[in-house]
Amino acid sequence: MIKYQLRCASEHEFEGWFRDSADYDAQAGKGLIECPACGSSEVRKAIMAPAVARRPAEGREARLAEIKGDMLKAMTRAREYVEKNFDYVGDKFPEEARKIHYGETDERPIYGEATGRQARELAEEGVAIAPLPGAKLKTDKAGAPKTPPAAAAKKTN
């Protein structure tokens, strides 16, 4: 036996039991299925979308995972671009970023390392810096990662 959700021409919905889908087709073809509400024999199967209707959370999670993947790819591309095209200045980053900002040296794209406090101080002085997304953590001799990993600076205006 098979159960179908049915709908008449006046949009009344009701359920009908059939031996199989061929049985439904035969009865519907002969006009033997009638709407219990209005008696219309103009009946069709209601359109069902169980995957969407029953599990909206799954669709959302899949979409979120997709967005997260896209962001990771974009971050990786940004980091690769910086590492390829910017000068790595290491711990001298705050000093070099300031020199560029105050015009004491030629403007050039650099990236390097700064502590959270140094990064805050630079930002307060109006030096345009940004954390480098997805940057590899550089480790010092003891093997401890330095934080934050890196920042990129570019003179604005």
Q: Does 65 bind Zn ion (CB under 5 A)?
A: no
Q: Return the amino acid letter for 90.
A: G
Least distance (Å) between residue 53 CB and Zn ion: 22
Q: Kindly identify the residues of this chain, within the stretch 119-148, that bind Zn ion according to CB under 5 A.
A: none
CB atoms within 10 A of CB 111: 25
Closer by beta carbon to Zn ion, 5 or else 147: 5
| Partner residues linked to 21 by β-bridges | none
Dihedral angle of Cα 72, 78, 84, 85, to the nearest 10 degrees:
180
Question: Contact with Zn ion (CB under 5 A): which of 4, 6, 8, 18?
Answer: 8
Closer by beta carbon to Zn ion, 33 or else 119: 33
Q: Does 6 bind Zn ion (CB under 5 A)?
A: no
Q: Where does this chain touch Zn ion (CB under 5 A) — which range of 5-13, 67-75, 96-104, 113-121?
A: 5-13
Closer by beta carbon to Zn ion, 37 or else 71: 37
DSSP assignment, residue 56? Answer: H
Please choose, from the candidates 34, 64, 46, 49, the residue with its C-alpha nearest in 3D space to the C-alpha of residue 4: 46
As a whole number of angstroms, the distance between CA 129 and CA 40 comes to 71
As a whole number of angstroms, the distance between CA 66 and CA 22 comes to 41
Closer by beta carbon to Zn ion, 44 or else 63: 44
* Contacting residues toward Zn ion, per CB under 5 A: 8, 10, 12, 35, 37-38, 40
